[in-house]
Amino acid sequence: MKIDCSIDGKTLTLSLNSNKPLSLILSENIGDGAAVNHCRGDMCGLCAVLVNGKPMLSCMVPAFEIRGKEIITFESFQKTRAMKDIEKAYELVGAAPCRECYASRTMIFESLISDGVSEPEEIIKELSIVRCPCMDTEDEVNIVLKAIDIRRKRRVRRS
């Protein structure tokens, strides 16, 4: 089956099995630098990517669901100004995810920040897909709130 999608800003036409998981598609199509984990559906939360701006576990997304969608991986996202906002929030809060879940949590943080989600319960719920116990929920909430504030101030300065 042929599937058109955008991965990290590149429009691709892929010929593949419709049930192939996105995590394998990414590892095969974006090169050795890809930090996308393929846990074979273990749902550890370490393979989060943004699909049309929403975090999804790439091991759980079959190829047919990415047709016409925009996929952003951490490798692409980390080169953006938005990533710098999150890094600044990590610094200000004095907490950051461990090396194992850094990419996935950061992608989920970005989705929450860009959507302006500031309710602690919603933040905690969204971040619960990452099963790594390295972060305190209070720190997670504070990182999102701090990054929302950083981004708002940056936009005001531009205006």
List, in sequence order, every residue forming a beta bridge with 21; answer none if it has no partner.
62
pLDDT tens-digit map of 30-40: 764 445 555 65
* pLDDT at residue 98 is higher than 80: yes
Report which of 120, 86, 81, 119 is spatially closest to residue 105, judged by C-alpha positions. Answer: 86
User: pTM for the whole thing?
Assistant: 0.91
List, in sequence order, every residue forming a beta bridge with 3; answer none if it has no partner.
14
Task: Please name the helix (run of DSSP H) or strand (run of DSSP E) that holds residue 13, with its range, or none.
Answer: strand 10-15
The residue-averaged pLDDT of 133-140 equals 96
User: What are the residue ranges of helices labelled H in the chain?
Assistant: 22-29, 74-77, 81-93, 102-114, 120-127, 137-158
The residue-averaged pLDDT of 21-49 equals 73
